[in-house]
Every structure is written in C-alpha cells, then in structure tokens.
Chains A and B, each alone.
Chain A
Amino acid sequence: MSRDGPIDGDAGDAPGRVVAVPCEGADVLALFALATGEPLGSVPVGSHPVHATTTADRTLVATMGERSVTAVDPGGEVTRVDTGVLGPSHFASANGDLYVSCSAGDALAVIDPVELTLTGRVGVGAEPHELAVGPDERRLYSGSRRDGVVDVVDTATRERLGTVDAGPEARVQGVALAPDGHRGYAVDQDGSRIVVFEPAGHGGEEPDAPATRVGHVRNAAAVGADPYDLVVTADRVFVPGRADGTVHEFSPDLTLEAVHEGFSRPVDLFKTNGRWWVLDAEAARLRSLDGAVVDTSAPGLVAAPVGGGRLLVSHYDDDRISLVDVADGTVWTADTPAYPFGAVVV
C-alpha cells in the first residue's frame, strides 16, 4: 500500500462515525460506534468476509467463500453482486469502477458501485491478491500468488496490457506504487524478496512514454522471512518479515537503509504522530521503529488509521477490536464475532 506521510487530521471520535468489521469466522459485518466502541449490531454478509471498502455511501464486503461480494446500504439492506469466480479478496477503485481480486481464480471482477452490477471481468494471473492503482487511475496492478507476476490492466479498456515477471517461483503478495506513480513494487513471499518495477508510462528514461508501455523489473532485494505486505512512501519502502521479526527499510531504488529487529511477527506499519508504528500479530503492543511502545489488549493482525493519531486494530485471534491512540494507549476495546479482519470507518 502507498502511504504518503502521516495520517492525521480528523479526530477519531467524531460523532456518528461507524466502524464496520468483517468477521471472517462468523460471516457477518459487525458495526460499532467509533467514538465509544458501543456495539450497533451485525449484518450477515456471506461466507468468510475479509476486507471491506466504502463507496457511494455503501460498504462493500469481500467474502472469500463466495462467488459474490456483498453491499450493505446505510439502512442495513444487503445486496449480493456476483463475481462469477470464487474468493473475492481485495478492492481497488479506478475510473469509477470497483475492482475486486478473485483470489481462488484468475480474474478481477469489475463492479459498478452505484448500480451494484458486475460489468465485466479481467483475466489476470492465477490467484490474484493485492491490487494497486496508479495516481492517475489509468493503470491497475494485480499481484498473482500462483503465477508470480504483476498484471498491468488498462482501466479504460479493462484489458490486460502485460505482466511484470517477479522472478522464477515467485509468489506475489503485496503490490504497491510510489505515491507519484513512478515506481511499482511487488513482494515475493516465497523468495523473501522485493522487486521494484517500472510502471506503464513511467519509464525512467522515457517519463512521458505512452501509457501502453509496460514496465520491467529494475531491481530486487532480499527482505525478512515470510514477507506479506509492504508500505511505500515518497522516500521509503518498508517490508515486514513475519517469520524472523524484522522490518527492512529501503530507499525507493531498494538500497537497504536499515533492518529493524526485535519484533515477534510484524505485519504492517503506520506513520502517525511523527513515528512509524509496527503492528505485531504475536505481541500485544504497537512498537515504533525508534523504540516507543504502546501496549494493546491483544496482538493485532490488521489495523486501519482513523485520524487523530489513532488506529483501529483488529485482534483476529482474540475476537475483539480496539481503538488505540498512539499517545494515550487504548481508548476502547470491544468484543466481536469470530475472527475480525479488515475494518473500515463508514
């Protein structure tokens, strides 16, 4: 994912905001008041909900056990949108369309988020996972876990322009673009590597090259064991190594700047209040890269910044969520249905 600088601003306790949490083990979207953590109810959404996104006043939920995604209106009305292919996983918006990777197949479903209809599918490498979109929304990048490639999709024509080969035996998990769109990155989980590639239309030697140009791999670097996701900013690339408790920090061209050690199972990073905070799936705390610690009620697997120096943390294995202020600690904790995953604020 791309994160350009700190995520601060609106206070996380704005009245009326609702936290929507896909609970993978209970097949529901659980709702809570952001300000207090008060449970507001739950909505059945289908098998294995994992990620959600908000668009057109709706919350759309990717249900990996279905061949559909589920849209929940503000009034709680539920609409299923068929994808035709099993395993909807990650969302990305581009040019008014909503793309969702069908991770049990080899396609991206393209959904009209207003009409709630399937408008097409784009064939990509098998078992697509994370998606990234260029800043001009003309290109979408889809990582393939089985084929080890990043597919480049023209969002105007919904056609695959080509692929970036991440290397032999690669299993691409995380995919991200630099905030200016001039570099693309892919994490090879099996090879414990990261590659930087040239996005279409942003060649270093031809910065104004036609948009149909498909990039090539510029460089690659080793990272910690069992990497999954990555964070890309204007001047840094971070890759947590889940199995060896490290976070590799690179410059944009993948020159290694530092290896941060001592984590248990780091899974993600967030910059807030001037610090980079590391979410750890096996430690009940947030720890910053410079050593500051905020205790939490349980380890966190997924988190979402909500502004005001606060993070919404899903404690997947402990069936609860927390609102955590990196300055003041846990604001509230609430029990959830089983296996809360990627929460969003509505």
Chain B
Amino acid sequence: MVEKTPETDDDGSGDATRRGLLRAAAGATVAGAASTAGCLSVTTPADVAAEYAVTGNVAHFVGPSWPAEHRDDAVVLDARNAERFREERIYGARRVPFDAITSQRSTDDGAVPDADAVAAAFGSVGVAPDDDVLVYGASVGSRVTRTAFALAAIGHSGAIKALNGGLDGWNGRLGTGTRREVSTTDYEADPAPSAWVTREWLAERVGSFNDGGPGLVDVRVPEAYLAAAGSAALNDDHERHGHIPGAIDVHWVGNVSGRRMTEPGRLVQLYEGEAGLDRSETVVVYGDDNVDPTSTWLTLRAIGFEDVRVYDGGFSEWANADDRGRHPVETATNVVVETEGSVGGDDNSGDFSCTG
C-alpha cells in the first residue's frame, strides 16, 4: 500500500495545503487500518484504485495502478493551470506548457500543429521522444487529451497514458509549491500528419462525410452546431455559424463522467450505436478550437477506432475561410446525438476548455 504524504518537490520549503494535510492524515490513518476504513468513513488507496480502475480493452486511459507500477520510469505531466499545480500535484510531476502545445502554423492547406514548437515545449519540461508519459488533470478533460494529442502529433514513441480520475485517481505521494527545475531535452519532432487533417483535406471531401466518406464529428455544444439564433454558444469571431456539411454532433463532454472517462460500453454505444461511426474507417473530429476535439480523438482511439484525426484549424478557421463556396456550412437538417456527460474537477481548475 502506498502511503499518501504531501511533500514539496522544490526545495522543501513549500507548505502543503490544508486539503492536502487532511488527505495526508486520512491516508496515514488508512495506512495502518485499512481493514477498518469503511467504519472510519475515509477513502483508502484501495478504494481509489478500485474507483478509477480501467477495465476491459481500453487504450490510453489507465487507473492508479499504472503509475504505481511505472513510478520510476515514467514522466508525469500535469495539464492543469499553474495555480492548481502549485497547490497540489503528483509528486515529481511537471507542468505542461499548455499554450505552447496548442501552437499552429499556417500552410496553403490551412492550419496544422506546429510540430517544432510543440516538441520544443515538451523538451522544455524534460520530455524525451521515447519517454513513457502519464498525463493527468483535475479529471480527464480536454487539457489532458490535448496533451496526449500533442505528443502523438510530434511522433512520440514512448507510451502515452491518461490518468483516469485525474488527481483524485492518484493514491500516492503528493507535491506542492514551486515547480522543481528539470533538465531540458532537445526534443526533435517526427511529425505524424496522420493524426490531423487540414481545411483543404476536408474541402476536397465535402458532401461525403458520414455518407460513404470519412466520419465527421462536431464536438461542440448542440447550440453551436445548430447555429441556434441568439445562443450564447455562438462564437462572435465566426463570420458564419452552423457546421461542416454532413457532420454529426456529439458534444465532447459525453466522454467524461465526473472525473473519469465515461464507461467504455456506453461510449461504444454512443459512437457506434447512436452516431453510426465505423471504427474501421477514418473519423475526423473538430470543435471551435484544437483542444476540445482531442477529448473525442483520445476517447475514440481508446475504445478501438483505428484512424481518428483532429481538424486542428477547427470551425473557427472553416467559418472564416475566404472561399465560402469551397468551404460551405450547413444549418438546417441536423443530426445531434444526445450526451449526458459532465466534467468534474474544481472550478477554474483549467482542466477543460469552455470554448467548445
């Protein structure tokens, strides 16, 4: 059993938060009295492990046992914002330079991930191309999945794992305070363009999505997809509203249930049964930006979809394209797959984007 002890992981001068101390006290108690934990109304590491365990044939998402088994050989990345990171984190975790890993560069075909900038960002926190990486947040929201996608986009060869349950899914040692200095690496990107598509890739296939061509999923809230007049969900920066022709709408929040991924069987039903996607065919996901759709990107890969790609330019790029005839949007006659998900975690934890 792993003892849960808050520690600073800088020079030892940081103070553990009250929440962390209380948790530590509970953990210390449980460490000596696991068999009576239920009577004491405390959560044991065993409870945590059970609650956030990932069972079945699911890729990428792991429960607390994975980091416990790989504590000495995996890089742990915290995808939350700086405030939450300072407050409490997995001991030894490094904070993801989040803005940098969403970097894009322009091409004639549209925006694509800036692989060099993304690689440099990971290198700045000491990640090497063959490191096994565990990324976590307050839950399993889109900041976590964007981090996973960014690694895949630069051809990361090590394992890429996301901690089910986020920080609550961790039952080991905690750190707090200022981040520890890490040695940077010279991360040379090996871009994986099969992880994304461009505006022109989509334009060439308009009319075929979900109708003999690739699957296409709009991950935004239905109001944005439907271009609901007067809705606050409509982005004022968009010259047009609606969705890419043929796209179906499955709001990405349906991938998350509190702090953990939605039950895999439900996800299979959602995407194969209700949305009608084919796991053996190419599926493209998009949102307003390049963060939220990565939730669906990782989720689909986790449940066995073989070729899932992100439209990194997103609807923001599509809606503001100069040649509207080549980049049309649809507003009427829509397909919305209802979802019931919710994203857990503290307010302002920075674990998910509200731009979707």
Residues of A within 8 A of B (CB): 65, 67-68, 82-87, 102-108, 120-124, 126-127, 146, 158, 160
Interface pair A126/B329, CB less than 8 Å apart: yes
B314 contacts the other chain (CB 8 A): no
Q: Chain A residue with minimal CB distance to B241?
A: A126
Interface pair A104/B206, CB less than 8 Å apart: no
Interface pair A127/B331, CB less than 8 Å apart: yes
Alpha-carbon distance A183/B327, docked complex (angstroms): 32
A interface SS class = loop
Interface pair A82/B328, CB less than 8 Å apart: no
Q: Which of B63-71, B162-170, B318-326 contacts A (4 or more CB under 8 A)?
A: B318-326
Instruction: Report the minimal beta-carbon distance from A107 to chain B, rounded to whole angstroms.
Output: 4
B332 contacts the other chain (CB 8 A): yes
**Hey, which chain B residues are within 8 Å of A67, CB to CB?**
207, 211, 245-246
Alpha-carbon distance A106/B321, docked complex (angstroms): 13
Most buried by A among B326, B328, B333: B328
Interface pair B332/A121, CB less than 8 Å apart: no
Interface pair A123/B325, CB less than 8 Å apart: yes
Interface pair B331/A83, CB less than 8 Å apart: no
Contact of A126 among B206, B240, B327, B333 (CB under 8 A): B240
Q: Chain A residue with minimal CB distance to B332?
A: A104
Interface size class of B (residues with CB under 8 A): 20 to 34
B20 contacts the other chain (CB 8 A): no
**Hey, which chain A residues are within 8 Å of B331, CB to CB?**
104-106, 126-127, 146
Given A67-B245, A84-B206: A121 and B326 within 8 A (CB)? Answer: yes
Contact of A83 among B207, B242, B332 (CB under 8 A): B207
Instruction: Report the minimal beta-carbon distance from B239 to chain A, rounded to whole angstroms.
Output: 10
Q: Chain B residue with minimal CB distance to A82?
A: B207
**Hey, which chain A residues are within 8 Å of B3, CB to CB?**
none
Contact of A106 among B207, B328, B333 (CB under 8 A): B328
Instruction: Report the minimal beta-carbon distance from A203 to chain B, rounded to whole angstroms.
Output: 27
Contact of A105 among B211, B323, B326, B330 (CB under 8 A): B330
**Hey, which chain A residues are within 8 Å of B328, CB to CB?**
84-85, 102, 105-107, 121, 123
Instruction: Report the minimal beta-carbon distance from A64 to chain B, rounded to whole angstroms.
Output: 8
Alpha-carbon distance A261/B128, docked complex (angstroms): 81
**9 shortest A-B CB distances, which residue pairs?**
A123-B324, A84-B207, A121-B325, A104-B332, A107-B328, A84-B206, A105-B330, A123-B325, A104-B333
**Hey, which chain A residues are within 8 Å of B245, CB to CB?**
67, 84-86, 105
Extra contacts besides A84-B245, A84-B328, A123-B327 (7): CB < 8 Å: A67-B246, A86-B246, A86-B333, A106-B328, A106-B331, A126-B329, A127-B332
